Amino acid sequence: MSNVETLARDWLKAKHDENAARKSRLNIEGQLIEALGAKEEGAQTHEIGDYKVTLTGKLTRSMDADLWLELRADIPESLWPVNAKVVYSPDKAGMAYLQENETKAWRKIADAFTTKPAKTSIMVKET
């Protein structure tokens, strides 16, 4: 068995062990929540023997922006529960297009963007 083949086998075993450990941890978390109860939102700390267990309930909030724009006139602007900010983010396809096809334009704006390597993804399957 080659070194690379051994690494592939070991990767599969480690991934299996990782998934089993995650499943076990999530099961235990469910049991702790059931045993201790959890707030819908906010943290609760329990001291149990040598352990301190903190359960933090969270709510995800979203909005229908189009409906909000229709309804917002019904309450004063000082009461609007929204952050009205514009968030700019890079468009990978647009950047690549400019770099390859519009180099002059890209050079004018390139300093505003950073590109760096991300973690390489690995998938191993047994055949």
CA gap 46, 37 in Å, rounded = 10
Q: Is the pLDDT of residue 33 over 90?
A: yes
What integer is the mean pLDDT of 19-24? 98
Which pLDDT score is estimated for 18?
98
pLDDT in tens, 83-98: 878 889 999 999 999 9
Q: Is residue 89 part of a domain?
A: no
Which pLDDT score is estimated for 126?
82
Q: Is residue 33 part of a domain?
A: yes
What integer is the mean pLDDT of 11-32? 97
Q: Is residue 36 part of a domain?
A: yes
**Residue 21 structural domain:** 3-60
Cα 109 to Cα 43, 65, 89, 99, 104: the distances in Å are 45, 31, 14, 10, 9
In which band, very low, low, confident or very high, does the pLDDT at 1 lie, cut at 50, 70 and 90? confident
Q: Is the pLDDT of residue 20 over 80?
A: yes
Q: Is residue 43 part of a domain?
A: yes
Which pLDDT score is estimated for 83?
87
Which pLDDT score is estimated for 12?
97
Which residues, in sequence order, are CB contacts of 33 under 8 Å at separation 6+? Answer: 55
pLDDT in tens, 34-72: 999 999 999 999 999 999 999 999 999 999 999 999 999
Q: How many domains does the chain have?
A: 1
